Chains A and B, each alone.
Chain A
């Protein structure tokens, strides 16, 4: 029962089911991912719904004699996911509805509406071809991209500034490099900052300039 779970997890007794689930979302996703061997998709994934149902079931059936709650819950989620995978082709019903039936509210964050991926894939491919014309790959970009949040935010805002200036973007596309000197003069940033993350800046400028909306929205979030 919920009380036993709350005792075992040593959390505030006033926590309700939805809060508990929200708090353990990463745990649920990890449990699912471990069983399926796949990443859990964000977009209205049936597996996630099944996992949530499993978690809910675990809360209902738990008592303190059954050991730690989390290991118990993981077992329950695992077996529910396995059942789901086995019977996947036989009966297809939306477990999302089951969730709602049980009065569980899932944040939109975890249940994005399934979009048409083809547009996004197309945009990704355009980005790839653009940056390859600048002489680097996504892999190199991934290695160079600033890891610090502050640096990254600076770089993104700088890129937004640059993309507004026609003069800079045309230079960039023509010469396949950033007009670093002029950017330094214009935006009062140090040369070092630009040089360190020039690939990242170039990519972001491309994304903004070419209006790759899917990627743009993703980054800005």
Chain B
């Protein structure tokens, strides 16, 4: 690990100044430390924001909730307001990491964690995200953990966060403080960039801009929330595919559906067309298949990750069946859901 200077920020102003001058913000550090050990990231100055008061609270925000950026993942998942009003978030957090990690990882840090792409993790290999213009060794390489949506010729890395997937389904926003002291709110779609030609630029945050909170809208009354994650091992494995869903039924029809996906996208993935397609419809296997087709229409896969199409399709169908109360297919599950 490279040496660095350490600075303890007492307030957001000093943190912002230090960050604008090139300092790297550290809170729980669970992802940053790992990347620093591997020298994937080599900051020369760390700005510790954990002592800044006021960022570790979960507060009412009108009918919704305001989650401070320093709220620990474990506190967030255990909070009764979250567990009752936003169970999809609690479940995504619990699926995300071990208790020991959740006790340190923060809300803001979780949103800004870097990809788990093995080529990003190995400084010996070419990676445009780590070093713009270096090329991408993942293309043509082992692609099991790579994204299939939103990728570019420069980068195929998948976003690793479970929490962010739930937040997208919940239509959450983030609140930030810019270097000049102004605050702004932006949706996660506006926060995360697609890789395009500059996969190193992952968010739209400006230099010195710091996430101060996540804002949850009021829970949708009567909606079913679910989170399903498929991975290779129960603990400390990143999602092959995950689905977060917030679905409200009305008179046996899907009144609204908000779906988000992890493991498959260059960013926590949401397709408004898929949500629109489902809304107002009667639940049926055929409808879910069409929704999955829409979701995956732009997917780019290779031999190493084409299983994710089928896995995503099935995860979407399973989650929607559960959320809408549509009985699981009783026989020949496979065939019923995949008409020829």
> Are both chains from one complex?
no
B residues in contact (CB < 8 Å) with A: none
A residues in contact (CB < 8 Å) with B: none
